[in-house]
Amino acid sequence: MNPIFTSGANHRYHTDDYYQVDPLLGGDEALDELIAACHDRDMRIVLDGVFNHVGRGFHQFHSIVENGAESPYVDWFTIDGFPLNPYGKGPANYLGWYNLKPLPRLDTDNPVVREFTMQVAEHWLRKGIDGWRLDVPVEITADGYWEEFRERVRAINPDAYIVGEIWEDSTDYIADGTRFDATMNYLLTVEIISFAVGEHIDPPHVVPNPAYAGVGAIDAATYAARIDTLFARYPMHAHQANLNLLESHDTARLLTTASNDRASLILSTLLTMTFPGAPCIYYGSEVGVAGSLDPQCRRAFPWNESEWDVELLEAHRTLTALRHAHPALRAPGYRHLSTEGHLYVFERFDESERLVVAVNAGDDEATASISVSGLLWGQATSDQDHITVPARSGAVWRR
């Protein structure tokens, strides 16, 4: 979930009170009810931890606005002068995230601030949440901060999931198991979009972030080579925990990025659901919600079922069920089989089964010399030694 604590902003990245669920969302009681309902269904809840910056309504910051240098919280922030200028014209005279006035940055080098954020994390774990998604964690550079965060989180819940919002290489955070379990795997996102969306990419909707600089149409061989590079980047335990996403509240909706080409979304979802790690479906994509960059990518979910794209919904349902039904899709075993043109074929395996996944991102039917048995998903055909995959489609077989 994105941030749920009280805030003056609708997206709640401007935290006012870390110890209160926003009343607009139902307050603490609503979260308690949601946690119980999810746990009854063997589901888990991960909250968004925004510990780098706060909102102007945050009590400790507001105390400085009111009391100036006499406030006991002056050293919670980096301040250049008094009185503070959080609303007036001219630049801020305090450090804000990206120099934004509404987002004063906490000084996490201050041991009091550090302890405050640790206790917030512990509080909600004791309330029953199952992990933290950490906002802009690379900007918190206090020595040993994230190592301590992990130790304290795991002391309360040894199974808690800790995932960092890191758009580029995350080796320093996930490789040795001392900080996070996983990263938001935008590096994989870039490769999936480049291959599965390909020529359908609408450039203005590719998020203006350096991590997306490499987005552009590629063929199957290039995709395979880049996946090999990605596998070599992290140890397998990190790959199996990574949050593999196609879009988020910080990017355009994939359907919009793909020029409303529905096949692009289905092929991308197929690749995500058959990749090691934790596949992430951004709310609404399963029913065809579109939208450009923020705020359009944060549109409300359409509760009227008549507005749903039932074909997309069925694809998401069946691919999710496929992943649950076959342990090989959750195992580390992964091997390229064929990379001709725009037909990418790979094998997923564990000790009990082997599956073949084929994705044809091209505009023409494609064939590969692969031996398979029963078709599990998709509309492709096969004989004793070959598979044939229609244009802009994919399939999964038993090996």
Active site residue 75: no
> Using CA atoms, how far apart are residues 229 and 87, in angstroms rounded to an integer?
47
Task: Order the strands of the 366-368 sheet from edge to edge.
Answer: 366-368, 387-389, 381-382
Q: Read out DSSP for 48-94?
A: EE--SB--TT-HHHHHHHHHGGGSTTGGGS-B-SSS--SSSSS--SB
Task: Name the active-site residue from 22, 135, 181, 309.
Answer: 135
> Using CA atoms, how far apart are residues 41 and 393, in angstroms rounded to an integer?
33
| Nearest residue to 225 (alpha-carbon basis) of 336, 366, 329 | 336
> Using CA atoms, how far apart are residues 196 and 217, in angstroms rounded to an integer?
8
Task: Name the active-site residue from 16, 22, 48, 165.
Answer: 165
Cis peptide before 23 (omega within 30 of 0): no
Active site residue 165: yes
Q: Taken in order 373, 379, 381, 386, is the CA torsion positive or negative?
A: negative
Distances (CA, A) of 65 to 9, 77, 90, 114, 253: 19, 12, 16, 22, 39
Burial class of residue 227, CB neighbours in 10 A (0-12, 13-18, 19+): buried
What are the E-state strand segments in 139-242? 161-164, 182-183
**Pairing mode, if any, of strands 243-245 and 278-280?**
parallel
Catalytic residue numbers read 135, 165
